Structure 1
Amino acid sequence: MAANDFTIGVEEEYQIINPETRELRPRVSRVLPKAQENLGDKVSNEFFQSQIEIGTPVCRTLAEVRAELARLRRGVVDAAEKVGSRIAAAGTHPFSTWEGQPITPKPRYFELHTDFQQLAREQIIFGCHVHVGIADREEALQAMNRSRPWLAPLIALSASSPFWLGAETGYASYRTQLFARWPMTGTPHPFASRAEYDECVADLVAAGMIPDASKIYWDARLSSHFDTLEFRIADVCPTIDEAVMIAGLCRALARTGVEQHRRGDPLDAPRPELLNAAKWRASRYGLDGELIDVHARKSVPARAMIDTLLTYLRPALEDSGDWDEVSTLVRETLERGNSAKRQRWAFAQGGRFEDVLDLILAETVRGL
């Protein structure tokens, strides 16, 4: 096992908020320089000027992940407050419109807009990406193959985007639906080898669909810049506890996949139609309905599916020393509800989306 195997890096995309109206505020040009004074290149801009992104250093333990997320969130929050803004972590903004949102003036963002037009203009969404270090690229590919059946429960746990353009969407993670419209998203099909993966990327480049592998946005992918398996499935989590939970689960998925491959365990590769159904169900209902157990080929209560996930990952979580923390955080999420449920509760109290934003703002800084 390589020294950098199963390290963790987390990227989070945040909303820049007007503290008076609670609307999205295109102020990254003012917030980013302030944040970079203390955080350097660990904070950057994103597609829209009302977004800002952080990325942790390479972490070896969940305790390091927690400490770095707290440090980086605090740095961005403080920078925003110095220029009269706030920072919120949720998969969508409950009521701000995409119309009139200025794009960050960088060539790559203008190119995305030119290529994808309305899809790009509506891309006001915020995700959490977890990188898990796997030095052997063949093993990383096989871990990606084996993680596919388990991605949908991560949506259910992290769902934080029930509202869109001032409306109840009926989805726990509407961000998942918005992102699914892009051509290079979704759950990848299994690959027999790294060579086959590289051939697929080369074909897409040759066809003029993408310039390079970095423009593949699958739910799980081999990073084009790091020796990592990158999980891109989750909504950004309002609380640090939830972000740590998702990071721990992703690492356990990667580790389990690698160890199964090394043992020569057969690969269970459910049909893509079933995986798509499981993903949709998780996006629609979150933890408040039935999810699809793709191995058993049946619908089960969400709690039962999450229990199955924990059972599957327990050996890897115990090997990493993460079982107690991650299992506790999962149980707490099941008890209090994911962010989508909490946001709906906040809206139900007075019918005000501003109250939803106040909840998200408070949870974003909890634990800092």
Structure 2
Amino acid sequence: PLLFSRLWFNVQRREKNDTHAKIDLVCSIIKGVGVALSRLKQSSTLLFDLAQLGMLVTLEISSKDRSYLWFLNWMSKQSQKNSSTNQLTAETSYHQLSDGTHEVNFALIRGPGNHYLKFCRAWFQVKRERDGKLIDLNSGTSWEILMLTLYLKIKLLVDLLKETKSCSMKTEEGKIVIYTSSGGTEWRPFGQPRTKRPLNSVVLDQGIKENLVAVIKEGLSDDKSNHLLTNVPEQSVILLEDVDAAFVGRDLVSVFYGLTSTTSQKEIFMTINHLEKLDWALIRQNRPADHRQAVTGKHHTNHTILRDKTRNQPTKLKSRSTTMSSEEANCNQNQTKHCWQAYVDHHKCKNRHGVEHDACRHFYRTFNSLCPNRWIARWDEQREAGKFPVQLDP
């Protein structure tokens, strides 16, 4: 019995040792597999980054860029056979018709997420990201980014952007696009492009319609001085309503003075309820503006349309009449001070930098709008005779 018990003890101890050995072997295999998978993951990530760097190109379009809306418009028009997505966003357009009925249209556009599109036999990925923490102060919407990724074909990206622009322009072709600032500092399209209204459907008094059309067709290049007017789209008609109430003092004059002129054709129309309340500098005799009674019917409110026709001022001062006018009587102390200072600053700037300098042109426009002709003529005579009370040489 003693021998048998010793043999049985040795057998059990050997089985335990074999079990521990098997467990150690399995743990070693698992550790090896884990290390191999970790190394494989690192290698695959590195290879993917290298492949993306060398074979893929990524284009980022922010919601502030103009091509952002073009691309969304183009992407929403792609058919299901050329694209695949299950992430959509509803866009509702609501219109109330003249007969009191409502017209509601729903459009399903691709929302935030990953989308795959096909263009010119090439597939590419579009990733639309929306940051809820960042707000676009101009539009009041969340900040969005479009990330386009495709095979290394930069020319294809350029062709794609051109295609989105062409697709967007087709919706505006032959129509009128209305822009509004909406209280911000950037012009945004107001609604959808509208079909042009036939001119014969506009009802105005005799001659008024023809005069307005003639003014628009003349074309002009005007000076703008606030942020909105400097960012107006090209070849636009700008309407400022009730300027006699909206602009107090000389604020309206500062809109047209102080900035360099542009070559983009723009028309500025201003509606006025009380012409006598308008700043006299805008409608004085030597002011290059056209003001006329636009609506004079018995059943209409009287408005005056003022069209600014400010152009580049001539480089040489023109001779002025020295006859007395009512302008001197309308000059207050503050206006006289600014008039004199602008005249002196203009000639100092001209002697130092030349008459074509932007600052010199600004001073010229300022004193030309503030100073009566008689004062300017008298100061010119004193300056030519060497009797001007201020030293103008640099």
Q: Aligning the two structures, in what range does the TM-score lie when normalised by the shorter sequence?
A: under 0.3
Which has the greater radius of gyration?
2
The answer to which structure has the higher helix fraction is: 1
The alignment's TM-score, normalised by the length of structure 1, stands at 0.20
Greater relative contact order, per chain length (Cα 8 Å cut-off, separation 6+): 1
